[in-house]
Homo-oligomer: A and B are copies of this chain.
Amino acid sequence: MDLNFEGNDLIAAVVQDAVRGDVLMLAWMNREAYERTLATGYVTFYSRSRQRLWVKGESSGNRLRLIEMLADCDRDAVLTRVEVEGDGVACHNGTRTCFTELAWEGR
């Protein structure tokens, strides 16, 4: 699939647990990271701070095994539905998800 890597050359990649449905993290892919993800079946990002490819979980063992990937209507974002390997923790802080800080709760 041809994604829109124009502009800043990065697309946003949302990571969702394929079984539980919770949103685990958001990171970035350049074309190479996207192609590496498809080729290996494991989610690979492009780290903006380190300016290099980053196989999520490569050192911790908590790799993200790709179950399904969907592109959005603009083709500048993807939803990766995954199984978290290892101890099932996606965030480097040790929590399942990176989205842990409550910013607003309904009224």
Contacts and interface: CB of A to CB of B under 8 A. Distances in A.
A101 interface: yes
Interface residues of A, number: 39
B99 A70 contact: yes
Contact of A73 (B41, B67, B69, B100): B100
A50 interface: no
A103 B1 contact: yes
B25 A101 contact: no
A67 B99 contact: no
A103 B26 contact: no
Contacts of A38: 103-104
Contacts of A26: 12, 14, 26, 72, 77
